[in-house]
Amino acid sequence: MNHDARASKLPLAGLRVLELGQLIAGPFCARVLADFGASVLKVEAPDGGDPLRNWRVLKDGNSIWWESQSRNKRSIAIDLRQSEGQALVRELVRDCDVLIENFRPGQLEQWGLSYERLSEDHPGLIMLRISGYGQTGPYKDRPGFGVIGEAMGGLRYLSGEPGQIPVRVGVSIGDSLAALHGVIGIMMALREREVRGGKGQVIDVALYESVFNMMESLIPEFSVTGLVREPSGSALPGIAPTNAYRCNNGLVLIAGNGDGIFKRLMTAIGREDLAHDRALQDNAGRVAQVTRLDEAIASWTAERSVESVLAQLHDASVPAGRIYNAQDIAKDPHYQARDMLIPSTAREAYALTQPGIVPKLSETPGLLRHPAPRLGEHTRQALAEAGLSEERIAELVALGTIRQS
């Protein structure tokens, strides 16, 4: 099947999305939809566009991050501060299934783009709203980036070593978790619209709630026992043994916390005495002696290389792995075999490797259809598709309401 035929068969082909977001949470959500065939029209400010265009490492004037975050999208440059720009968005929304935004609550209302107003002309519209604290509650008007959501959601407190200042994950995990919750919400709202009469709805995603949703038994345990879970470094409290262990040339992660796995691990490291110790036959017993177990494993790994440790543990069917950096990922044959490293070319004609598309669908997998757009690259095309005449488009360009690349 050729490229165009594959694109027409993608699971979200025909879904029309208008993206008003910027930076990470809203745009990442839209990227996931675009990877699976949705037609995403990204609205950017004419004076510079999405700030992500200038974040982190630049190449030929554009952020390399931008190239993956905005792949498979089109760009239209509209000044939302102008009434003419707001009117344009209202026209564009009429032809869309989904509107994605991640401004502070109340901003769309100030622009005359509230859900109530937009849904008057388009009752089937689904609006995803991503914000720091949600659209309601006493904190709703506070500015909130992903890092603040990670802190309020409980994740930051647990990260790092006991007694030290908590550390952040080296990526914007709070924003990305919110984006993925947004994707889930959109899929559920589309299904609801399909089976129950065609009416749309608002999806309210808060950054802190998206992080909090990942916190497993944190609150249930506190509610029953009063336990406040504390940071534990590379270990996982209450589950043993699982930790990072130092070899003579690096670190390995070993997860020997299943009952059968534990026995295989202890046998592999020459500790049959621990493998058959009755007190260690279940997780509760191992947690009670976790220091003893970590010391036994660490003394074994310390005398061996990472490669030797991994070979022996893989042979014993014990989950273990090295800690990858970017170079490790780029060279790994498993990443390559599963199409997780996609060769591509940016608009500026330089080669780059894109992250692969997940999840993997057997019949209609996602597809890299086209590279990230230049600012306003599709302005004229998108407005013509919305029914604006060439004369009207020229007037808006003269007013500075829109920009064409």
Q: What are the residue numbers of the active site?
A: 175
CA distance 377 to 325: 35
CA distance 405 to 374: 7
**Which of 37, 41, 47, 42 minimizes the C-alpha distance to 22?**
42
Torsion on CA atoms 58, 60, 63, 64, rounded to nearest 10:
-90
Helix (H) or strand (E) holding 87: helix 83-93
CB 173: neighbour CB atoms within 10 A? 18
CA distance 71 to 346: 9
Q: Parallel, antiparallel, or unpaired for β 242-247 and 250-255?
A: antiparallel
**DSSP code per residue over 107-143:** HHHHTT--HHHHHHH-TT-EEEEEESS-SSSTTTTS-
Listed in sequence order, the residues at least 6 apart from 271 whose beta carbon sits closer than 8 Å to its beta carbon are 296, 300
Helix (H) or strand (E) holding 44: strand 39-44
